[in-house]
A and B are shown apart, each in its own frame.
Chain A
């Protein structure tokens, strides 16, 4: 009972408002420390006989952004499924609020990857399995947002785009296993399977801090957006009117 009270938009709205500053502050702190650690406490070069130079530090943004792009899609699809099954309003609002942040992280992963790929691989873009599947994930986010805004009736928009989100889940395992090449020298794929145990400890720390920071940022951004959605959708309800009158 206690926690499900917050499934009602009227009680979640103030809770999200109280939590946003905390998530924002933790996000800012971890991203600042993570960037400092990544830029100044890690080795200058990476790899064996032909090391990557300083530009490898793009991974401290690239890898966390790519992880968050997949995680937020999972969040989006999970809220969509909960909404479809239990017909709860707030679930659909959370799904809709998560989509733009996920799209931004997907774009950030593709964009930083292009700038890393140019000096190291020799190309901004290649139809590498992982690049291709991540691009499709970006189109899925854009398609979800577009489908949702194309339908005027909010509840119908929720259901149609929720279905798209759930069907699009098929891309997550494709992205995850797109590097599954038995022998890297027998495949055209440029991405390779990497091993967390083959990671220098400071690089690992910086990457985890950045991931945590991006995650906390996602909470803050999604809560801010969901508050806006709640207000616009519940504009006719008594509690929003009371809120507006209290502010005025």
Chain B
């Protein structure tokens, strides 16, 4: 093999490697999106009935109910339009809580309850201590309320 051919081979290998890497990245991004459903989509029967998918949204206030076995938790997830009830047995992450964003992975049961195998919590996007973050959020909500009532 000539030196020039070798160079060509190495360049080709490099380009193919990057192409594979990029396509893997894109397919990972796409599968993350395609297996992700909001409560509205689940209620509209757009989610697969027999397959594992991801359901995401906000945990509804006062919906968290711990069952008698001490490990199973029932709660509801909403996208502020529709609500889906979720049942999960296992340890919940530290940031799981009412009003917090979650991503759950599992199957939809025949009874309309989403049986989660995994519950992931989203973190707060602010880098502020709790008092400041809460008051900012309240101020934001108050601002929105003011804006709406002025209309």
**Residues A195 and B126 in contact, CB atoms below 8 Å apart:** yes
- Chain B residues with CB under 8 Å of A47's CB are 95, 123-124, 126, 128, 130, 133
Q: For chain A residues 1-57, which have a beta carbon within 8 Å of chain B?
A: 43-53
- Chain A residues with CB under 8 Å of B56's CB are 185-188
Given A43-B129, A48-B133, A198-B127, also A127-B14 (CB < 8 A): no
A147 to B133: give the CA distance in the assembly, Å: 48
Question: Could you say which of B3, B18, B122, B126 contacts A184, with CB atoms under 8 Å apart?
Answer: B122
**Residues A163 and B11 in contact, CB atoms below 8 Å apart:** yes
**Residues A45 and B129 in contact, CB atoms below 8 Å apart:** yes
Given A140-B21, A151-B10, also A121-B130 (CB < 8 A): no
- Give A199 Cβ to nearest chain B Cβ, in Å: 4
A interface, CB within 8 angstroms of B: 43-53, 59, 119-123, 126-129, 132-133, 136, 139-140, 143, 147, 151, 156, 159-161, 163-164, 167-168, 170-171, 174, 178, 184-190, 192-195, 198-200, 203-204
A48 to B131: give the CA distance in the assembly, Å: 7
Tell me if B106 counts as interface (CB < 8 A to partner A).
Answer: no
Tell me if B52 counts as interface (CB < 8 A to partner A).
Answer: no
**Residues A185 and B123 in contact, CB atoms below 8 Å apart:** no
**Residues B125 and A164 in contact, CB atoms below 8 Å apart:** no
**Residues A186 and B130 in contact, CB atoms below 8 Å apart:** no
**Residues B94 and A53 in contact, CB atoms below 8 Å apart:** yes
B interface, CB within 8 angstroms of A: 3, 6-7, 10-11, 14-15, 17-18, 21-22, 24-25, 28-29, 31-33, 35-36, 38, 54, 56-58, 79, 91-101, 103, 118-130, 132-134, 136-137
12 A-B pairs with CB atoms under 8 Å apart are A43-B128, A48-B134, A52-B95, A122-B94, A122-B121, A126-B120, A127-B32, A184-B101, A185-B101, A190-B122, A194-B125, A198-B125
A47 to B125: give the CA distance in the assembly, Å: 8
A204 to B15: give the CA distance in the assembly, Å: 39
Residue of B nearest to A151 (CB): B10
**Residues B95 and A121 in contact, CB atoms below 8 Å apart:** yes
- Give B36 Cβ to nearest chain A Cβ, in Å: 4
- Chain B residues with CB under 8 Å of A168's CB are 18, 21
- Chain B residues with CB under 8 Å of A189's CB are 32
- Chain B residues with CB under 8 Å of A48's CB are 124, 126, 130, 133-134, 137
- Give B134 Cβ to nearest chain A Cβ, in Å: 5
Residue of B nearest to A186 (CB): B38
Known: A49-B97, A122-B120, A160-B14. 20 other contacts (CB 8 A): A46-B128, A48-B133, A49-B100, A50-B100, A121-B121, A122-B93, A122-B119, A128-B32, A132-B25, A136-B25, A164-B18, A170-B18, A187-B36, A188-B33, A188-B35, A190-B120, A192-B122, A194-B125, A199-B128, A200-B127
